[in-house]
């Protein structure tokens, strides 16, 4: 079986996963990872389910939530090249008390913040760093072609890249918007030994510089523009279905900024349905902060392309992104999953966080955006009281103590 990079828009391009590029060499568009579904289908759905379960209690690194699905992710990476910190297998937490209060009794939270660095970004970073490690070990990737793994970040991406880069012994550079991330997020990459540059700009300004450095061949880009990140992040929905007894929920709600994770959810369900492990896809709900809502604006206007906006400050700092690089991917996910895009104001997200916390959940501001949107859709009748809803909680709330303190003050 194989996995390779292909052009998202359909150019006849076939590249190895170890190729240090993130754009189609013909059209300049984004790349996607294509899998040999015919070869994967030779193994029955029941065998895949059994294999995933057995690996969970087996030896590392295949006990990881990501690498237990290695054939669906990056099958050519050898076990000795895998850089894993036992990511994934996060809790699917029933939230019936809070859910009942907002009209969604069958609400659960997928706690992706219960991961090594405290966010879902670990899931994608283990794949990216492992593929680089594999490429270096096999000679498919020349270390002299790039000086470091690098990313622009609003906090969580830099923490994950720095940790996994340190575990692999690879140099890491991160660009952060000065004064726009929490102290807890800032100290994580510093502690892991990354070179941390705080720039007087926002995330979009940092991303523009990283893009230029990557195109110049100076660094290996580790943002979700890189399709390898998507491969790890898609395992979230495989886990959710596994935890639900191999059923898909009715709605999957996701806080959304750079928009790569929305496409990752679709990529996971595309494989689950194609290989017969679940019967259908849920409706995808992408939740944006009203202060950083380019996808929402495009969706309500009926546009097929997302236009950049100047993102305003939001408590949901990780999704304070006005020019999302994975917008074309997100549009595909919305079309395939009968998707909905909704927004939440600063007051709405703050009150959603407080209400959820009072039921014992203790959630980050980004998850609060998703909960506020879930409440809105329930009030409109889009989400019914009998619908099973999973909200993806993207980060550990302990990273956002300042947000909690300000609210209660």
Q: Would you call 74 exposed, middle or buried from its count of C-beta atoms within 10 A (0-12, 13-18, 19+)?
A: buried
Specify the pLDDT at position 172. 97
pLDDT at 387 > cutoff 90: yes
For 153-182, write each residue's pLDDT tens digit. 888 999 999 999 999 999 999 999 998 888
- The CA-based dihedral angle spanning residues 188, 397, 252, 305, taken in that order and rounded to the nearest 10 degrees: -60
**Angstrom distance (rounded) from CA 230 to CA 217:** 22
Q: Is 239 exposed, middle or buried (0-12, 13-18, 19+ CB in 10 A)?
A: buried
Report the pLDDT value the prediction gives residue 265, as an integer from 0 to 100.
98
- State pLDDT tens for residues 220-247: 999 989 999 999 999 999 999 999 999 9
The rounded distance, in Å, linking the Cα atoms of 272 and 236 is: 12
Residue 208 has pLDDT above 80, yes or no: yes
Kindly give, in sequence order, each residue whose CB lies less than 8 Å from that of residue 393, ignoring residues fewer than 6 positions away: 109, 110, 111, 112, 113, 363, 364, 367, 370
List 6's β-bridge partners, or say none: 14, 32
- Structure confidence at residue 382 (pLDDT): 98
Measured between alpha carbons, how far is 104 from 249 in angstroms, rounded to an integer?
Answer: 13
pLDDT tens readout for residues 39-52: 999 999 999 999 99
Angle at 199 between CA 130 and CA 21, to 5 degrees: 35
Q: Cα–Cα distance between 303 and 185 in angstroms, integer? A: 35
d(CA 311, CA 204): 9
- Provide the token pair at 176: 């952060």
Residue 143, pLDDT > 90, answer: no
pTM for this structure? 0.96
DSSP 10: -
pLDDT bin (cut points 50, 70, 90) of residue 55 is very high
């Amino acid at each position: 079986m194989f996995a390779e990079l292909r052009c998202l828009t359909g150019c006849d391009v076939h590249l190895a996963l170890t190729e240090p590029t993130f754009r189609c060499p013909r059209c300049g568009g984004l790349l996607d990872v294509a899998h040999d579904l015919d070869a994967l289908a030779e193994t029955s759905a029941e065998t895949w389910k059994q294999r995933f379960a057995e690996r969970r209690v087996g030896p590392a690194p295949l006990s990881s939530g990501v690498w237990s699905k290695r054939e669906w992710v990056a099958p050519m990476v050898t076990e000795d090249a895998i850089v894993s910190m036992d990511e994934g297998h996060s809790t699917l937490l029933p939230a019936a008390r809070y859910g009942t209060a907002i009209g969604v009794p069958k609400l659960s939270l997928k706690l992706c913040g219960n991961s090594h660095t405290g966010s879902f970004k670990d899931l994608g970073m283990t794949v990216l760093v492992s593929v680089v490690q594999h490429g270096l070990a096999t000679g498919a990737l020349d270390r002299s072609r790039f000086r470091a793994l690098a990313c622009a970040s609003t906090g969580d991406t830099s923490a994950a890249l720095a940790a996994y880069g340190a575990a692999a012994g690879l140099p890491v550079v991160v660009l952060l918007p000065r004064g726009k991330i929490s102290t807890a997020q800032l100290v994580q990459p510093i502690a892991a030994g990354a070179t941390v540059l705080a720039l007087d700009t926002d995330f979009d300004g940092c991303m523009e510089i990283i893009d230029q450095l990557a195109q110049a061949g100076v660094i290996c880009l580790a943002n979700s523009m890189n399709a390898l990140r998507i491969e790890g992040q898609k395992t979230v929905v495989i886990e959710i279905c596994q935890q639900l007894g191999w059923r898909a929920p009715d709605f999957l709600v996701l806080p959304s900024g750079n928009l790569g994770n929305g496409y990752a959810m679709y990529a996971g369900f595309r494989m689950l349905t194609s290989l017969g492990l679940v019967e259908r896809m849920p409706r995808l709900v992408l939740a944006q902060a009203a202060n950083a809502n380019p996808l929402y604006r495009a969706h309500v206007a009926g546009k097929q392309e997302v236009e950049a906006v100047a993102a305003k400050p939001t408590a949901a700092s990780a999704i304070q992104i006005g020019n999302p690089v994975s917008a074309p991917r997100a549009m595909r996910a919305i079309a395939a999953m009968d998707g909905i895009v909704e927004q939440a104001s600063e007051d709405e997200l703050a009150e959603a966080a407080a209400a959820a916390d009072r039921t014992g959940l203790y959630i980050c501001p980004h998850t609060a955006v998703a909960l506020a949107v879930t409440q809105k859709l329930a009030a409109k009748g889009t989400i019914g009281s009998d619908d099973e809803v999973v909200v993806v909680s993207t980060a550990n709330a302990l990273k956002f103590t300042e947000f909690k303190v300000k609210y209660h003050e």
